[in-house]
Every structure is written in C-alpha cells, then in structure tokens.
Amino acid sequence: MNPFITPAYAQPADGGMLGALGSSPLGQFLPLILIFVLFYFLMIRPQQEQAKKLKAQIAAVKRGDKVLTAGGIVAVVTKSREGAAEIEVEIAPNVKVTVLRDTLTNVLNPTTSLAANDAK
C-alpha cells in the first residue's frame, strides 16, 4: 500500500450533509410515527369498534336470546332486567342459573330488533 495515497471513504453526494429531513428529529421519528398510524387504523380501531358492538349486544340481551358465558356454557336467557348486573339463564331443561352480565362473552342469536337497528 502506498503511504501517499489516503484511503477513500464513502461520502454522500451533498458533501457530507444529510438530507434536510434525515438530520432533523422529525425525520428520524417519522417512520415510527407512520408505523403507529398504520397499526392504529389496521388493528386498534377495528378492535375497539368490535368491542363496542359486543358491549352493546350484551347490554341489550333479552329473554330468549342464546348467549355464551365465559366458562363456555351456551345458555338461553330466561330473565333479564335492563341495567341489572345479573341475568337468569337456562343451561339445560329446567336448570336455571344466575350469571353476571359481565361474564357473557358473546350473544349467539340476538333479538331481531337489535339486528334491525344495526342495519340502519
């Protein structure tokens, strides 16, 4: 190797200066911000809407609806009062139990009036 020749290092075309957006803090965080916005619209927002819809279905559960409890029991609602924390469900012929409304995980066949409201 010749001692009079200095090694060549790769340098950007603009004389060592990065682009205006690349050197600013905004330019460094812009990809992270874009990823967060993308995740929000593709994952977080639809999940929130689905949870809101399920919460409305559980709040509007009425007599005759088929529901699924957190324990995996499929039952038919026999007694439900609006605003009450407990409802009575039938899990087998002549076997009625009282469960908390918060333990319902799904409404399998909601009443037709609720389905008509969702169609609007």
- Predicted confidence pLDDT, tens digits, the chain (120 residues): 677 777 777 666 555 555 555 567 878 889 999 999 999 999 999 999 999 999 999 999 999 999 999 999 999 999 998 888 999 999 999 999 999 999 999 999 876 544 445 554
Q: Is residue 88 within 8 Å of residue 96, measured between CB atoms?
A: yes
Structural domains of the chain in order of their starting residue, each with its CATH number: 23-119 (2.30.30)
Give residue 114's pLDDT: 46
Give residue 19's pLDDT: 55
Closest CA to 96 of 115, 72, 73, 77: 77
Give residue 120's pLDDT: 47
Q: In which order are the strands placed within the sheet that holds 74-79?
A: 95-100, 86-92, 74-79, 66-69, 104-109
pTM attached to this predicted model:
0.63
